[in-house]
Amino acid sequence: MSTQQDSRPAPEASDPSPPQPASHSATRSLLRLWPYVRPIRWFLTASTVSALLASLSALVIPLVLKNVVDGPVAHRDTGGLWRQGVLLLVLGLLEAGLFGLRRWFVARPLAGVERQMRADLYAKLQRLPVSFHDRWASGQLLSRATSDMYTIRLFLAFPLVFLIVNSMVFLTGIGIMFTLDWQLALITVLPAAPLIILCSYFERRYSAAARLSQDQNGDLATVLEESVLGIRILKSFGRHRTMAARYRAQAELLRGTELKKARLLADLWAVIVGLPELALGTSLAVGVVQVAHGSTTAGTLVGFLSTALSLRWPVESLGWLLAYSNEAATATDRFYEVMDARPADAEDGPVRDGSAVQAAPAPARDGIRLADVRFRYPDAPAGSPDLLTGVDLHVRSGETMALVGLTGSGKTTLTALLPRLYEIDGGRITLDGTDIREIPRARLRALVSMAFEDPTLFSASVSENVLMGAPDAPEEALERALDVAQAQFVRALPEGTRTQVGEQGLSLSGGQRQRLALARAVVGAPEFLVLDDPLSALDVHTEALVEQALRQVLAGTTALVVAHRPSTVLLADRVALLADGRITAVGTHHELLESNPEYRELMSGERTGGQAGERTGEGTEDGSLVR
């Protein structure tokens, strides 16, 4: 049996987000965090005030030292020295206590901000259409939900606070220095102008490097995820070295970008540290001359130099704070690239588990009707033809229609249009006379149930996986669905339906996973059922049992079944042949065998002349069904 694959371009592994504009502003990006910061603004304010008071208390220490030198030391007053010493101890304890209080103010609130942002991102990802996920590598989305959230939280906890605090401390310290000696202070602040120019230049270059690094980190996560999920394929084909080489190449790209960031930061740090140290040395030399000539006191010089040394951390931290602010700005941009995604086919709001979806009474039972439906994938190459060029099909109410066609003809794509996993480009699809675009998605997906050819199971119990098709279904419905899908193997599992199936359901065989996926589709007794080759992984005997039980389900619903095997086709009342983007023939299995050479060739796997087809039959064991 051949596997159904639509002819569509594969999504790129790299981040599809647009490049950063030249006028990108880190400040504008960070301001977008305000809706999340606003509820905790008073905690951040208290944290900032605590840090500011702690830092300002440290600036009092140089003034105390000035008084110590000019007072008790100059006058050999031991008693006065002790009083000043106690004052220094109190200031030190006050500084330590206030810094500890700062952390206490923000630890819990910021953890809540990170949780809320991550929850909003996840909810958004669930609401965005399948076409969005086709364009984005999973590693890129994963890195946005993990490492980017951590970067933003750390920025709010430390760099944001100390950008404010250090600026205030620096201005206060400069004011103290001018009060002590304006000439020495003027020498000390001379490097300010070149530092401002350098920081502006650094910010532009570092922002681009930070964005590139975060995107490459997402690409690396994608390679790692694919390697883990595809470990059986890699081992069975001996391709683990190829994937390892790909991983190393991606890691080397990331390493190069990180080294570029380190070089930028090192250059900035060298200037930020070097220029103030040069100015401080010059101030010391000039101050010593002033003390020697008696134009200033030794205590004033000690107080001035102590204040200048206290400002080393606010100045030297500037490079790191700017660097991390740009990291946080790019992380914020990456977060909002997902949150801002609002394509025309964006999902409706999320539906709470277990909530009933109400709808207006349906019009006359008309089944499924497709009229001149056209579709092409958004990422298809420019100029390529539509995959579906005008599909007209009517599945009567209560009827089961089999959909057949060559691999790549668009069968799977057509079935995905019914629950609006993709939006049609033209034409109309109705369910019982109502255009699907007029039905809320929550209601639409309660009406239409699907089973995909490639079954996906989650790291949850068997019952949780099956009941995703109907969260409110009773235990009897679960057992009935398992019986229809011939999934009695569940009862032999260690904990029955409560057994955890593991990531991707890899602890089960392909046939077992497919039967659970089928049970998930039928558990809610849907009004419309869409099955994409649901029996492809089953052996002949199990397939016969499933077909026998499935006939009872199909008798009570309107169904569209993608089929490759003639045995699956016989489940249907009628058959539709999809070719060249259109439905070219509709009839019963036997009518099409007699009247349509293309259908006969498709079912038999024999080349009968005309347009070449692909062998999709199951060999001689099914051959009797096509004669």
The answer to whether residue 1 is domain-embedded is no
With 70 as the cut, is the pLDDT of residue 359 above it? no
Cα–Cα separations (whole angstroms), residue 579 to 404, 406, 418, 500, 598? 9, 7, 19, 42, 9
Same-domain status, 331 and 377: no
State the CATH number of the domain containing residue 430.
Answer: 3.40.50.300
Same-domain status, 409 and 524: yes
The answer to whether residue 2 is domain-embedded is no
Same-domain status, 296 and 417: no
Structure tokens that stand for 440 in this block: 């809320």
Query: Mind listing the pLDDT tens digit for each residue in 190-216?
Result: 777 777 777 777 767 777 787 788 788
Q: Give the pLDDT of residue 72.
A: 63
Query: By C-alpha distance, which of 495, 492, 471, 491 is closest to 479?
Result: 491
Last residue of a domain, one of 293, 322, 339: 339
With 80 as the cut, is the pLDDT of residue 606 above it? no
The answer to whether residue 416 is domain-embedded is yes
Q: Give the pLDDT of residue 5.
A: 40
The answer to whether residue 522 is domain-embedded is yes
State the CATH number of the domain containing residue 301.
Answer: 1.20.1560.10
Same-domain status, 148 and 263: yes
- How many Å separate Cα 503 from the centre of its chain? 19
Same-domain status, 519 and 387: yes
Query: Mind listing the pLDDT tens digit for each residue in 7-33?
Result: 443 333 344 444 444 456 778 888 889
Query: Phi/psi zone of residue 408: left (φ > 0), alpha (ψ -120 to 50 degrees), beta?
Result: left
Same-domain status, 429 and 556: yes
With 90 as the cut, is the pLDDT of residue 394 above it? yes
Same-domain status, 326 and 461: no
More confident residue, 417 or 302: 417
Average pLDDT over residues 227-239: 66
Query: Mind listing the pLDDT tens digit for each residue in 38-69?
Result: 999 898 888 888 888 888 887 777 777 766 66
Last residue of a domain, one of 301, 323, 339: 339
Helix or strand run (H / E) with residue 388? strand 388-395
Same-domain status, 464 and 558: yes
State the alpha helices, DSSP H only, in 429-539: 441-447, 462-466, 475-484, 510-522
Q: Give the pLDDT of residue 274.
A: 75
Same-domain status, 331 and 374: no
Q: Give the pLDDT of residue 190.
A: 76
Q: What percent of the chain has pLDDT over 70?
A: 82
| Bridge partner residues of 401 (DSSP) | 560, 574
For the whole model, what pTM was predicted? 0.67
Cα–Cα separations (whole angstroms), residue 587 to 446, 560, 574, 614? 29, 14, 5, 21
Query: Mind listing the pLDDT tens digit for each residue in 266-306?
Result: 877 777 777 777 877 787 788 788 778 777 777 777 777 77
Same-domain status, 382 and 326: no
Coil/strand/helix, residue 461: strand
Query: Mind listing the pLDDT tens digit for each residue in 512-548?
Result: 787 888 888 888 888 898 888 777 666 677 777 777 7
Query: By C-alpha distance, which of 288, 262, 313, 398 is closest to 99?
Result: 313
Banded model confidence at residue 503, pLDDT cuts 50, 70, 90? low
Same-domain status, 141 and 200: yes
The answer to whether residue 389 is domain-embedded is yes
Domain of 607 in residue numbering reads as 368-626
How many domains does the chain fold into? 2
Same-domain status, 426 and 497: yes
Amino acid identity of 259? L
- How many Å separate Cα 242 from the centre of its chain? 27
The answer to whether residue 429 is domain-embedded is yes
The answer to whether residue 305 is domain-embedded is yes
Task: Give the range with max mean pLDDT: 181-185, 351-355, 370-374.
Answer: 370-374
The answer to whether residue 605 is domain-embedded is yes
Neighbours of 390 (CB within 10 A): 16
